[in-house]
Amino acid sequence: MTDGEPPMTRPSVPEADRLIGVKRPVLSHGFVVLVDYMGNDAAIVQAARVSYGPGTKSIRDDRGLIRYLLRHRHTTPFEMVEFKFLVRLPIYVARQWIRHRTGSTNEFSARYSIVPDEFDLPPLEEIRRQSTRNRQGRAEPVAPEVAERFRSDLERVSRDAYAAYTAALEHGVARETARTILPLAYYTQWYWKINLWNLLHFLSLRLDAHSQEEIRLYAAEVSKAVQAVCPVAYEAFEDFVMGSVSLSAKERLAVRSLLQGSTPEKACADAGLPLNREDGKPMTTGEGVEFLEKLERIRAPA
């Protein structure tokens, strides 16, 4: 800090401060809590303007600068903002979450503590068939009796497993060994700290419709904290990331063909984006199908 500059103070966002310590429930027994944050929209601007030096504030206003930075993927200023969460989540969700290796995580240890008797029991409407297009995803609901049977089996297996876990502990089996009998539906919890840029990347993947429903629910709660702390940055994220459509080189050729009056099918053919298999049957996945889906997304009302 140089002479004549105002003293530095910790940014405080009243809307975000009201969220600190509040458990926002997710699933059967889960929650998301905003523990703390460092920085806000102003911190992004402050970090960016270090590059310009004093007297450059008139180059563009704060909102315009943040939108420019995100639009052009100037990431470092966003890394000046950090979030810390306490999250309680099923183990099967945690194993997806931990794939994002850009945060710092300290997890509840079942080697030291007794696991609470809490497991996730999905609602009937979320018990669905395996998707034929997305090998990781779900499609339409199964028959009600199948869903009821699955829920009944999950509850029985979970309760039997917990009884065996408790019995093992009572007979002196080490906690680190006894825990191995518990299903993935049981809950864990952790502290998770991450900077804004990496958090936005997490949200871009986990708010997407292709992500598993359960982790999308957690991401939605996390996103509310981001919106409170950095509303301008989050608005830019919605515009330039979540609301955008990227085009490959072939897709750009297809768009050019469309602008010249071709049908979508002809445009795909012109650009080398196949829509049919070698046997002539329509494809259900692939670059051509995904391009047509992008067109539908563009046509859809905002």
pLDDT of residue 282: 92
What's the pTM? 0.90
Q: Do 220 and 256 lie in a common domain?
A: no
Residues labelled catalytic: 206
Per-residue model confidence as pLDDT tens digits over 248-276: 999 999 999 999 999 999 999 999 999 99
Q: Do 171 and 71 lie in a common domain?
A: no
Q: Do 43 and 151 lie in a common domain?
A: no
Q: Do 58 and 195 lie in a common domain?
A: yes
136, 152, 181 — which closes off a domain?
181
Residue 5, in any domain of the structure? no
Q: Do 97 and 128 lie in a common domain?
A: no
Split into its structural domains, the chain has a count of: 3
156, 181, 206 — which closes off a domain?
181
Q: Do 107 and 204 lie in a common domain?
A: yes
pLDDT of residue 235: 97
| β partners of residue 188 | 89
Q: Do 30 and 62 lie in a common domain?
A: yes
Q: Do 202 and 292 lie in a common domain?
A: no
| Of 115, 116, 121, 139, residue with least CA distance to 129 | 139
**What is the average per-residue pLDDT within 219-247?**
97
Residue 3, in any domain of the structure? no
Three-class secondary structure assignment of the chain: CCCCCCCCCCCCCHHHHCCECCCEEECCCEEEEEEEEECCHHHHHHHHHCCCCCCCHHHCCHHHHHHHHHHCCCCHHHHHCEEEEEEEEEHHHHHHHCCCCCCEEEECCCCCCCCCCCECCCCHHHCEEECCCCCCCEEEECCHHHHHHHHHHHHHHHHHHHHHHHHHHHCCCCHHHHHHHCCCCEEEEEEEEEEHHHHHHHHHHHCCCCCCHHHHHHHHHHHHHHHHHCHHHHHHHHHHHHCCCCCCHHHHHHHHHHHCCCCHHHHHHHHCCCCECCCCCECCCCHHHHHHHHHHHHHCCC
Per-residue model confidence as pLDDT tens digits over 37-75: 999 999 999 999 886 655 445 445 899 999 999 999 999
Residue 9, in any domain of the structure? no
Q: Do 261 and 177 lie in a common domain?
A: no
Q: Do 75 and 212 lie in a common domain?
A: yes
Residue 1, in any domain of the structure? no
Per-residue model confidence as pLDDT tens digits over 7-25: 677 888 999 999 999 999 9
134, 155, 181 — which closes off a domain?
181
Which domain does 145 fall in, by range?
124-181
Does 146 score more than 90 pLDDT? yes
| Euclidean distance between CA atoms 118 and 161, whole angstroms | 12
pLDDT of residue 58: 47
Tell me the percentage of the chain whose pLDDT exceeds 90.
81
Domain CATH code at residue 197: 3.30.1360.170
Per-residue model confidence as pLDDT tens digits over 105-141: 999 999 999 999 999 999 999 888 887 777 777 878 8
Residue 286, in any domain of the structure? yes
